[in-house]
Amino acid sequence: MRKVRQARQVLNRLRGVTVRLPDKPTKKLVTDGAGSYYLVDASVLAASRARCRTTHDVGEQTLARFCAALGHEDRAATFSALFRELGELCGARAVEEPPRWSGIGDDCSPYEFSIDVRRDGTEPRLLVEAHDEPASPLSYWNAGMRLNQWLVDHHAAHLDTFRRVQDLFEPRHSELFGVVGHGVGLGRDGRPAFKIYVNPLARDPEGDVDVVVEALTRLGYAEALDTLLALRGPADRFSHFSLDLVAGARARVKVYVKHFGLTFDDVARLAGATTGAPASEWVEFARTVLGHDRAALSERPVYTAYTMTTGRPDVIDGATLQLPILPYLSNDLEAHERIVAVLERHELPVEAYANAVDALRRGPLEHEQGLHSHVSYSRQAGQPRVAVYFGSRLYVERYGWLSLDPARSWPENCWPLPALRRGPDGG
């Protein structure tokens, strides 16, 4: 009983897995994060958590501000209600508890918001990751599959295409940065559209090429493979495979390549091979955001993404260059000024982006880090398009940039730990 009483004192910062003991009520095996474990009545733990604010409670409030800042007050209620439901399905956690592993936020935040900026308007988007206990690639995968079925039942999501390749992405080892995520966007009609992101490295840490080749062949995109494979360098990896959860010719497949040590000449080559726009556009975008004085983008990998559609299975329809902000830029004011320069150069609306930053910032931008996580550039139907991704930063002040340190949890094994500012505990 003494151990149980001790456990009650730290319930708000515990995590655990359910176990069943013979002839006893259901218990939770919980840890205080300092190496001690306790058995606690699951009902007591559930009641304690019910009184706590969860990570998704925080996110719901943030999302309301985010939508209002973008001028989408009419969609805020729809998006917030959906996010609330997703929080319940994704394993929302009390904010006082230590984080589970997540590859979405650099501090293991399990969701992020983004803004898609086009000349004809802006669209709010979000990315979530379904979690379960105990945290592992397989438990997250199973949680993601349950979320898939919920999307079918409640939002008429289309899973037929995904099910044709699902077996290729089920995790078989633990050295994975991420397993499955779900993206949500609100179109102009206010209805949510969903996509799924899975990991080509899930079965084999060296098997990404085989998985992507097999997946695209099954889906009827074999004719585009030669072009796609030429865009992956010997040291690169296919990092994400994305499918729109819709039916018909508008459904897209997107394959992401994680590039290590790109030079600006490499950036020009990749752009010239696929975008149909001047190769200098990608180079100028990368130099504007990350700096003109760099010989290579080697501090953290850069992503490119290549889109194919059902209606044109033999060609790459679009390409995107996605840049990380950390550790290249030291604070969010620097990131903000550089993104504004990109938007102005391409005659894209600045005000909506600036309003979003004001809604999400916690103080002066020169003192903030990690609000901007990534920024991307592409062309759609010949028109420029910029997407800005915002870190939720739920844990950084207490735990630092957890997912930037492969030694802290599931190992990414992708790039050296950069010299980033850490949280108060030095972690």
Q: What tens digit of pLDDT does each residue of 101-128 get?
A: 888 999 999 999 999 999 998 999 999 9
Which of the residue ranges 41-50, 137-146, 408-417 would you say has the lowest mean pLDDT? Answer: 408-417
Sorting pLDDT into bands at 50, 70 and 90, what band is 416? Answer: very low
- The tokens for 219 are 């889906």
How confident is the model at residue 58, as a pLDDT? 93
The CA distance from 321 to 342, in Å, is 13
How confident is the model at residue 11, as a pLDDT? 36
Average pLDDT, the chain: 83
Q: What tens digit of pLDDT does each residue of 302-319 get?
A: 999 999 988 888 889 899
> Residue 312, Cβ neighbours under 10 Å: how many?
14
* Four-CA torsion 278, 284, 285, 288, nearest 10 degrees: -170
**pTM, 2 dp:** 0.83
Sorting pLDDT into bands at 50, 70 and 90, what band is 37? Answer: very low
Which of the residue ranges 5-14, 18-27, 60-69, 329-338 would you say has the lowest mean pLDDT? Answer: 5-14
Sorting pLDDT into bands at 50, 70 and 90, what band is 273? Answer: confident
pLDDT above 70 coverage of the chain, percent: 81
**Strands lying side by side in the sheet with 27-31:** 15-19, 27-31, 37-41
Which of residues 412 and 273 earns the better pLDDT score? 273
How confident is the model at residue 276, as a pLDDT? 67
